[in-house]
Structures are given as structure tokens and as C-alpha cells.
Structure 1
């Protein structure tokens, strides 16, 4: 009886240990999906409100904020511990003009537990591409 209980306990611990990296990957995927949605939300708000809307990654805060013209924050989101904006990124602010177009195109590079992922903001109407 004790042997069966020990085998079940070892089997359960192996399953839990193998599920942890998968959960981290899912958390990162959810973050990038939400980031893409927040960028689209910022663009739609800039067009609807006829004002500049920005998505800002502050260097000293572990997250980003969506705000009107750097003066009125709309909301803030945290970044998972396994994700970080790298110094190789050429933008840290996604800025939409009152017409809904992008102010400065560029690429944000993030280091994750499974390697580097990029978010590219294209010139013009601000099309967003998130790498897998």
C-alpha cells in the first residue's frame, strides 16, 4: 500500500514539474495577445477622441501604461516576470496621432523564457505584427 502511494506521489510530482514551463509560455502568449489588443485600443481611442494616445513602457516600472498625451493615464498593465523589453528596441512608446495614424514606427524587442519576440509597428495606419 505504501509502495502504491509512493508511486502515485512521484508520478504527480513529475506531472506538476513538467506543467510549469507550459504555464509560463501560456502566460507570455496571453501577455502578447493583450499587448496587441491594447495597441489597437489606443489607436481606436486616438481616432474616436481626436487626441494623441500613447502606450508607454517606462524603464523604471515593470509594465506599461496607456495614456492620453502623457498627462492622463487610462490604465496600466503589468508585464510577466519572464518578459522584459530589451535595450535593442528602437521604440518604447507607441504613439498614435489624433487621426489614428502612428507617430513613430519601430520594433519593440522582448526577451522571454523561450527566446526573443518582437512587436513591429508599421508606418501609416499603425499595423501591428507580433512575432511567435
Structure 2
């Protein structure tokens, strides 16, 4: 009888904690994705400045991914977006293009739907400062 009571309590604890862990893990995956995205954007900018060639970060809706293109002779680096992150249609940017001097050529906002709500990535004209808003 005691064994059934212990098993019932254990199952109740597991039933409560596993869904909470999945939600936590999804939020952490999104957080890691946005940190990596910011690093990739800064990498593209620094490579364009260093190589004195254009570089860009391009979002591909069809493949649910983005590409970092720094050299036309090398294949682009492709990264998948997490399942819980979607680039919204209301975004006025689908790519960030840096000229040979490291300056961005078009400013705008990328809007993402996430499990915790909308996040916006704002690219400012000029030196290409990028800010992520929650």
C-alpha cells in the first residue's frame, strides 16, 4: 500500500515538472538563437569591414533558416530557426546587407513571433547598430 502511495506522489510530481521543463527549455532555445543571431550579424559586419567586401545575413522563409554570406567563393553558413520562432510578414527587412566599409545599406525592423510573444530586431542606418527588443 505504501508503495502505491509513493508511486502516486512520484507520478504527480513528474506530471507537473515535465511540462514546466519543456516550456523552460523552449525559452532557453529561443534565447540562445537570438544571441547567436546577434553574433552572426556582428560577424558579417566585421567581415565586410575586414575584407572590404559586401556581406549579408539573409532570411529564407521557405527553408525556415537564415544564411550568413561573407565571401562569394565560400558557401554561406546556414542556420535553422527554432520551431517556436517565426519571422513575421510585417517585417520590413528580410536581409541585412553590409557594404565594403561595414555600413548597413538599409535600416528597418525584423519582427519575430516566439513562444513568449513578439521580439523585434531593429537595424539602424549608418554604422549598422543592431538592437533586440522584447
Q: Give the C-alpha shift of residue 13 in structure 1.
A: 2.0
Deviations 1:5-60 (A, max 9, x none): 12112212211111111111111111111111100000000001111001000121
Quote the residue 2:57 is aligned against: 55
2:66–2:78 CA contact under 8 A, matched in 1: yes
List, as ranges, runs of 4+ consecutive aligned residues in structure 1 with deviation greater than 4 Å: 69-72
> Structure 1: 5+ residue runs without aligned partners?
none
Name the SS for the 1:73 alignment partner: coil
Q: How does 1:112-131 map to 2 (within 5 A)?
A: 112-131=114-133
2:91–2:109 CA contact under 8 A, matched in 1: yes
Quote the residue 2:40 is aligned against: 38
**Two-structure CA RMSD over aligned residues (Å):** 1.4
User: Are 1:15 and 2:17 matched, yes or no?
Assistant: yes
* Separation (CA, whole Å) in 1 of partners of 2:94 and 2:75: 16
> Structure 2: 5+ residue runs without aligned partners?
none
TM-score (norm 2): 0.93
Deviations 1:36-89 (A, max 9, x none): 110000000000111100100012111100013677433111100000101100
TM-score (norm 1): 0.94
